[in-house]
Amino acid sequence: MEASSSGRSAGRFQPGPALPPASNILPGTGGKPAVVASDEESVGKITYYTNNHLGKGADGIVFRGYFHCDDANKRPAAVKRIELAKQSNADREVALLLQLDDNPHVVRYFCTEKDGQFLYIAIELCAVSLDKCFTKENPFDLRGLNPVMLLQQTMMGLEHLHSHNIVHRDVKPHNILLKDHSDSVTVKISDFGMSKQLADSRQSYSMRSGALGTMGWNAPEVLDESRKVNPTSAVDIFSAGCVFYYVLTGGKHPFGEPYRQTANIMDGKYNLNGLQKDKHEDIVATDLIEQMLNMEPQGRPSAESVLKHPFFWSLEKQLMFFQDVSDRIVNEKLDGPIIQQLESGGQEVVRNNWIKHITAVLRKDLEIRKGAYEEGSVKSLLRAIRNKKHHYHDSPKEVQETLGSIPDDFVSYFTSRFPHLLLHTFLAVRSFAEELTLQHYYLM
């Protein structure tokens, strides 16, 4: 995806107005901020506006300001001001940010400065946080960034953190920022004030280092002290599962109203009723979110595995999967384990008789080869999809019209009529993926 927004290219530097002559700026900060204007303060390469609070981070106040990258250029920045008394946290946060500074989905760190009282961290300024962008009064224009892409980029940011053995520990809409570019919007994970680096990915962090994440978004093992497990990166996956539901429902929480959330999380009582039970996209989303909300941290998928879930598959990839599965199972024995697995629970998938649920034009077309298809079989439905795709261009015009264009409309024709088909097939074939050379659809 978007190679252009790697955040490091000089091309993205926005030249600002030239700074005043060197003699005017910051004559020896000498530990105290040099006051430039009534509400404007500067420390080294950072300027910030004391009357322009952007918000509160996990460990300090965030102001609007600038990072003066060189004598001629400045970049808008979020400036986090942390009391020196809390500096050990801040130093850790900066050390983490420095390691991570090459991912488009993690906020970019500019610099730090210090005066007698505070440490200042300048970070790239983003347009809005996710908790503010679904408000009815002031909806943020996502400019083509759909919810699936938004969540994909969130997971790419988390995957990057986890690949550096960093657990964020405070994943929530407030810390997921949207950055405005000239022609698009991208997602950035922010605020590492609560983050922990583990010695290796299997390792856990020893608990109760004081701070907890935020109520309502914390995993059960973080809330429940009697569970003697040391949390791992799986805590972020749980929180991200809550964020998935929040984004897909435009602001709902799987664990209910704020005052009930903590109790419900400890009891594992979530409710995903904001997603429809008979809609393809929602069925796929529900499977992924349920895995992410697993009470047991070991039962949750890794960030990498989340990104491999069919929830993120393009329509083209969905069609390719149906076609590949059909091609790889043609010679499997009907009483063998693969077909048995595929047909088990298949009645609901084909809605008892799939031929009844397709348009008359397609039904007629398929009847030409009567006997080739079985009305109650998943394998047979997959074969029909495969054959109609393979022979699309030599099919009559009315058949092409009813199916729509390849790949998007064509695959949606089937998944809208058979909303369980993709997830069912994905899960049924999983344990035979290697045998059927379908590994690239799974994280093996």
Please identify which residue in 177, 185, 272, 349 interacts with ligand GUK, judged by CB under 6 A: 177
Binding to ligand GUK, residues 293-352 (CB under 6 A): none
Q: What are the Cα distances from residue 41, in Å, to 26, 125, 139, 152, 307?
A: 10, 17, 32, 38, 43
If we measure between CA atoms, which residue out of 346, 367, 344 comes closest to residue 355? 367
Q: How far apart are CA 42 and CA 34, in angstroms?
A: 6
Please identify which residue in 125, 171, 329, 378 interacts with ligand GUK, judged by CB under 6 A: 125
Q: Which stretch binds ligand GUK (CB under 6 A): 190-198, 322-330, 380-388, 397-405?
A: 190-198
Q: How far apart are CA 255 and CA 262, in angstroms?
A: 8
Minimum distance from residue 78 beta carbon to ligand GUK (Å): 3
State yes or no: residue 142 binds ligand GUK (CB under 6 A): no
Q: Which stretch binds ligand GUK (CB under 6 A): 123-131, 214-222, 273-281, 380-388?
A: 123-131
Q: How far apart are CA 382 and CA 378, in angstroms?
A: 6
Structure tokens that stand for 401 in this block: 């019209």
* Residues known to be catalytic: 170
Site string (72-91) toward ligand GUK, x via CB under 6 A: ------x-x-----------
8 Å CB contact between 60 and 80: yes
- Total residues contacting ligand GUK by CB under 6 A comes to 16
Please identify which residue in 107, 283, 292, 350 interacts with ligand GUK, judged by CB under 6 A: 107
State yes or no: residue 126 binds ligand GUK (CB under 6 A): yes
8 Å CB contact between 428 and 287: no
Minimum distance from residue 291 beta carbon to ligand GUK (Å): 29
Q: How far apart are CA 57 and CA 185, in angstroms?
A: 22
Q: Which stretch binds ligand GUK (CB under 6 A): 189-197, 216-224, 352-360, 421-429?
A: 189-197
Q: Which stretch binds ligand GUK (CB under 6 A): 122-130, 164-172, 301-309, 351-359?
A: 122-130
DSSP state of 42: E
8 Å CB contact between 160 and 107: no
State yes or no: residue 96 binds ligand GUK (CB under 6 A): no
**Cβ-proximal residue to ligand GUK, closest one:** 55
Please identify which residue in 30, 31, 55, 116 interacts with ligand GUK, judged by CB under 6 A: 55
Please give, one letter per residue, the 3-state secondary structure of 144-208: CCCHHHHHHHHHHHHHHHHHCCEECCCCCHHHEEEEECCCCEEEEECCCCCCEECCCCCCCCCCC
Structure tokens that stand for 373 in this block: 């298809």
Q: How far apart are CA 382 and CA 391, in angstroms?
A: 14
State yes or no: residue 186 binds ligand GUK (CB under 6 A): no
Minimum distance from residue 22 beta carbon to ligand GUK (Å): 29
Binding to ligand GUK, residues 378-417 (CB under 6 A): none
DSSP H or E run through 61: strand 61-70
Minimum distance from residue 57 beta carbon to ligand GUK (Å): 4
Contacting positions for ligand GUK (CB under 6 A) = 54-55, 57, 62, 78, 80, 107, 123, 125-126, 128-129, 177, 190-191, 193
